Each structure stands twice: as structure tokens, then as C-alpha cells.
């Protein structure tokens, strides 16, 4: 299990009602292309173009840790031509973007099993991580050949090989062996394209994340969509399994808020 560099000490959110860490399941590239009678790879290229505006919108809003689900362990089941095109696109994107990301102080970290990636792509990933290892403005985590279940299994195996007594394993020790070690858990998981599932993404880390689902396809998810997601998050009441003490209620603040009908908010894109 190859870990990315230690996460940089990036700024805290600009406001207390903003998430420290956002994870995004970028879905809908294929549908975006199909609606335009284009090949699927055109949708993936459009999806790559959507990343920078989303990163910039998050950073300008005061959120400095972003994790993008780019390619899952299950995505190898797609047609070979599509997988090959995606792998080329990953390499091209690193070549084109890493210099400017470094200039802007963005640390790049890659999650996932790199062994199945080509030697050239593994080298590009390693070079990008090394170049940006000490950048401290923001963190961009990219999950490639990643699966949440596989991450947990690999972490436990690594702990066992290191001599850890697994009979005494606790949450802190396991968390320290994951790709996200040193990062806050994601506060908000965004899924585009209207699907209500998390698809093996950050299963351990997202235990108490707020979920936000939008019908907007990933290539169309831009600055305004980021602000809508953040506005929705800022209205959530996060209890982490606890409930307020009724005796502590102060009438000067009015009655307690009504409970939400659903824990998952489904956002319909504006006209």
C-alpha cells in the first residue's frame, strides 16, 4: 500500500459553517457526451475541464481540502478502449496542470492502488507529488484505482505485516494506516448526476459526512453549483449521533429546529 506524501498544513475554512474537507463523486461524463451525440471520451475530457473551476471556487469560498473520485477499482470493467483513453487523459492532465497547481501552492496527493497503473503514469504521479509535497495553500487528493473496501483491507494487512497486535486494533490506529492519514474526515460528500449511492468512496472516512446529491452532470458542475452545495451544507445541523439536552434549551433562542425529512439533500439544477 503506497501512501501519498504527508498532507500539508493548509488553512482552516474561512467560516465555521464551511466544511474543512469535501469529497466529490464526479459522475455523469458519459451522459453528458451522449446528450451531445459525442463519444464517451469527449465527456471525460469535459469532466477534466470542470475540475479547475471547482477547485478555484472551493478555494475562494474558503475550503482548502478536496478529494476527487476519478477512477474506481470497479471501473476496470469498462470497455478497454475507454479505460485506455482515461489512463492517457490522466497522464496528459498531470503534464498540463501540475506546474500551475504548484505555482498556486496546491499539494497533489493520489489515493489508490498504483500497482495496476502503467509505469509511466506511476512516474508522473510520483513526480507531481514530489514537486508539490511542500505546497500549503490547498490540498487536491485524486483517487485513482481506488476503492474504500480495498483501502481498509490493505491498511489492516499493512498493520499486520508491521507487527501491530490486531486484537488491540482501534479506530485511531486504523485511521493512521489509511491514505487519508493526517487529514480531517470529509464533512461533505457531493455526488453529481443524481445517483443516490457512494460507490465504495471513502467508506471509513465518510461515516459522518453530510451527503449532497445534484442532478447536474459533472462537466456542468461549476462555480454556482459549488456555492449551492456549500449554502446547503451551512444550513445542516450536525449532531454526530447526539441530541441536545432538552433542559439546556434557552427560550431566548426560540424553539428547536424541526427535524429534516431526509439526511440526503437532492438538489435540482436551476433552469
**Which is the catalytic residue, given 17, 27, 95, 170?**
27
Q: Rounded to an integer, what distance in angstroms lies between the CA atom of residue 147 and that of residue 199? A: 8
Cell reading at 214:
445534484
Q: Give yes or no: 75 in active site.
A: yes
Residue whose grid cell is 490506529: 173
Number of H helices, E strands in the chain: 7, 7
Q: Which residues of 9-36 are buried (b: 16+ CB within 10 A; e: fewer)?
A: ebeebeeeebbbbbbbbbbbbbbbbeee
Give one word for 121, left, alpha or beta, with left for phi > 0 and alpha for psi -120 to 50.
Answer: alpha
Given a contact cutoff of 8 angstroms between Cβ atoms, the answer to whether 156 and 166 are in contact is yes
**Which is the catalytic residue, given 17, 29, 75, 251?**
75
Give one word for 114, left, alpha or beta, with left for phi > 0 and alpha for psi -120 to 50.
Answer: alpha
Task: Quote the longest CA-to-CA distance of the chain.
Answer: 64
Q: Give yes or no: 27 in active site.
A: yes
3-state secondary structure of 75: helix
Catalytic residues: 27, 75
Amino acid at each position: 500500500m503506497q501512501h501519498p506524501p504527508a498532507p500539508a498544513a493548509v488553512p482552516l475554512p474561512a467560516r465555521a459553517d464551511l466544511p474543512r474537507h469535501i469529497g466529490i463523486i464526479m459522475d455523469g461524463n458519459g451522459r453528458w457526451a451522449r446528450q451531445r451525440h459525442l463519444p464517451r471520451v469527449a465527456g471525460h475530457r469535459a469532466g477534466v475541464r470542470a475540475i479547475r473551476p471547482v477547485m478555484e471556487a472551493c478555494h475562494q469560498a474558503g475550503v482548502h481540502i478536496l478529494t476527487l473520485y476519478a477512477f474506481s477499482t470497479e471501473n476496470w470493467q469498462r470497455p478497454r478502449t475507454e479505460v485506455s483513453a482515461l489512463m492517457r487523459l490522466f497522464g496528459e492532465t498531470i503534464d498540463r496542470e501540475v506546474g500551475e497547481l504548484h505555482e498556486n501552492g496546491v499539494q497533489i496527493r493520489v489515493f489508490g492502488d498504483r500497482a495496476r497503473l502503467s509505469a509511466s503514469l506511476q512516474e508522473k504521479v510520483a513526480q507531481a507529488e514530489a514537486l508539490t509535497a511542500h505546497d500549503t495553500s490547498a490540498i487536491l487528493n485524486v483517487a485513482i484505482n481506488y476503492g474504500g473496501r480495498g483501502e481498509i483491507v490493505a491498511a489492516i494487512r499493512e498493520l499486520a505485516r508491521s507487527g501491530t497486535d490486531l486484537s488491540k486494533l482501534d479506530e485511531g490506529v486504523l485511521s493512521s494506516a489509511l491514505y487519508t492519514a493526517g487529514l480531517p474526515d470529509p464533512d461533505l460528500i457531493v455526488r453529481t448526476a443524481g445517483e443516490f449511492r457512494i460507490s465504495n468512496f471513502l467508506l471509513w472516512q465518510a461515516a459522518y459526512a453530510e451527503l449532497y446529491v445534484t442532478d447536474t452532470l459533472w462537466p456542468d458542475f461549476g462555480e454556482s453549483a459549488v456555492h449551492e452545495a456549500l449554502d446547503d451544507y451551512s444550513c445542516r445541523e450536525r449532531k454526530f449521533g447526539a441530541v441536545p439536552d432538552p433542559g439546556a434549551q434557552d427560550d431566548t433562542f426560540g424553539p428547536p429546529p424541526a427535524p429534516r425529512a431526509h439526511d440526503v439533500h437532492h438538489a435540482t439544477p436551476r433552469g
